[in-house]
Amino acid sequence: MCGIVGMIGNSPVNQDIYDALLLLQHRGQDSTGMATAEASGHLHLFRARGQVREVVRTRDMRALPGAVGLGHVRYATRGAASSEEEQQPFYVNSPYGITLVHNGNLTNTRELTDELRNRDRRHVNSSSDTELLLNVLASELQDTTGPTDLTTDGIFNAVAATHRRIDGAYAVVAIIAHHGLLAFRDPFGIRPLVLGRRRPTPQQLEEHPDAHDEWVVASESLVLENGNYELVREVAPGEAVFITADGKLYSRQCAEHPVLEPCSFEYVYLARPDSVMNGISVYDSRLRMGARLARTIAEHMPVEDVDVVMPIPDSARPAAMEVARVLDIEYREGFFKNRYVGRTFIMPGQAVRKKSVRQKLNAMSTEFSGKHVLLVDDSIVRGTTSSQIIEMARAAGARKVTFASAAPPIRYPHVYGINIPTESELIAAGRTIPEICELLGADHLIYQEVEDLEAAILDGQTDQKLDGLDLSCFTGEYVTGTVTQEYLDWVAEAQES
């Protein structure tokens, strides 16, 4: 889970990159990275642990001059959080000087590590797949361009070769020093990347007659909206876009058989509701998830016994509102969410305390007392939070607790860049719904059907048609077709050690 952005402007972009990262912060809070390039080719990098507004100081911003830039927010997978060497952006100086950020996850890292070391003689100094990706791209750029200067064709050939060598999900933004900004997306379009443009105003042209179009690529469309960029389109699956420092855009389809099968989890949980992704409004798709979930609920239990529908804040709100509307049950918010809770200090000599959900959520007994409450969450992963919430609802006086998930049971690992734990930790892996219901301590448990989730998302298609969705964590079918059980076992083992 990461957010990325790249920009080419008429003036320094550091402030715009900063603002964009604030808007993408929900995609990762563990580290912040930025890079800018000056017209002289000089690159400037910034990397730090923590959220944007906590770690970026004025002097850091001053050290990021240049009208070409990129940024990254990162959600660290376990264990890796502490290492500075895993932080993006990564940089190689040969060839050309390239700095790169990446959202996604590669699934053939073992092969790439071997190739890079033994064939390409490139040193990879971290366990980050992003460093591998950058070096594959660099290696292909080196091979395809040779002693003549870099051409746009050369760049696109290198991206094509990179597509052939790497497996997995990836949306990428890179700066090639002296040349421009490169962005591309995996041939399945698993992770999002959207393209925007800001034309110079007549007033700007009067002051700077050579002002050119300004461009942005970003994980989510709200970055465009907030910066007053017009939405040009999504970067297509497999496509590469290259923008020169003077604002000229080139693009080419670099994959052989591109299809658009984006990750369904963006709609379920990750993306901000005010984003439009692959032409589909995230907010509207969540409303439709609620509507379909309502029907499933009605099929499985006597809804007339339910007194009130409540969301688990914040992401389940749209679905819960729609559940309430369709079932014609009152909608209330009975849980208050504390925004300020963070890590808890454990002082030497004091007992370790169980970090409870209660620090983050509090139940208003007025809303629960004597009622049958229907709680709606976006999804259920480990189940530990859900069971504590159910317990809180009962403690607050609920007569009965029904729990509904806007996503189907999560039974398989997610290998495309969403931080979902290994199979052994998933409450739904290898269990029936009644078994899960009992474990959670709910009176009823209703899950969205896989077909309904699919339809809830795809029903929002506009002129842009999707070829499908990645629903792998619900179905075990991985769109890239290269994920084996042996790989999943290796990942599980690596994460547990």
List the end-to-end C-alpha distance of the chain, in Å, as a whole number.
21
Residue 357 as a binder of its own copies (CB under 8 A): the answer is no
Who's near 251: CB < 8 A, 6+ residues apart?
Answer: 239, 240, 241, 242
**473 in catalytic set:** no
Letters for 282-311 (x = contact with its own copies by CB under 8 A, - = none) are -xx--x------------------------
Find the binding residues for its own copies in span 50-109 (CB under 8 A): 51-54, 56, 58, 61-62, 92-98
Tell me whether residue 378 is annotated as binding: yes
Measure the CA angle with vertex 471, ends 470 and 475; round to 5°.
135
5, 7, 8, 18: which one binds its own copies (CB under 8 A)? 18
The amino acid that residue 357 corresponds to is V
Which lies closer to its own copies via its Cβ, residue 273 or residue 476? 273
Among 202, 209, 302, 348, the residue binding its own copies under the rule CB under 8 A is 348
Residue 440 makes contact with its own copies by CB under 8 A: no
Of 4, 17, 33, 32, nearest in space to 67 by CA? 17
Was 149 annotated as part of a binding site?
no
Cα separation, 303 vs 323, whole angstroms: 11
> Of 345, 354, 434, 486, which lies in the binding site for its own copies, with binding defined by CB under 8 A?
345
* Residue 395 found at the interface with its own copies (CB under 8 A): no
Does residue 213 have a known ligand-binding role? Answer: no
- Please give the structure tokens belonging to residue 375: 């709680």
Q: Which stretch binds its own copies (CB under 8 A): 138-146, 205-213, 253-261, 479-487?
A: 138-146
Can you tell me which of 333, 425, 443, 449 binds its own copies, judged by CB under 8 A?
333
Map tokens 């994959």 to a residue.
255
- How many residues make contact with its own copies (CB under 8 A)? 86
Torsion, Cα 367 368 372 375, to 10 degrees, reads 80
Tokens of 83: 């290492």
Residue span binding its own copies (CB under 8 A) among the ranges 17-25, 211-219, 246-254, 259-267: 17-25
Closest separation in Å from C-beta 338 to its own copies: 7
Interaction residues for its own copies, span 39-58 (CB under 8 A): 41-43, 51-54, 56, 58
Alpha-carbon distances of 356 from 78, 341, 360, 364, 387, rounded to whole Å: 20, 11, 8, 17, 11
Least Å distance between CB 140 and its own copies? Answer: 12
- Give dist(CA 6, CA 311) in Å, integer: 35
For the chain, the 3-state helix, strand and coil shares in percent, each to the nearest 5, are 35, 25, 40
Two tokens at 272? 């901000």
The owner of tokens 């003036």 is: 11
Mark 206-245 with x for binding to its own copies (rule: CB under 8 A) and - for no binding.
----------------x--xx-------------------
Query: Measured from the CB of residue 306, what is the shortest distance to its own copies in angstroms?
Result: 16
Q: Enter the tokens of residue 1.
A: 């889970």
Which residues are identified as catalytic?
A: 2
Binding residue ranges for Mg(2+) = 315, 377-378
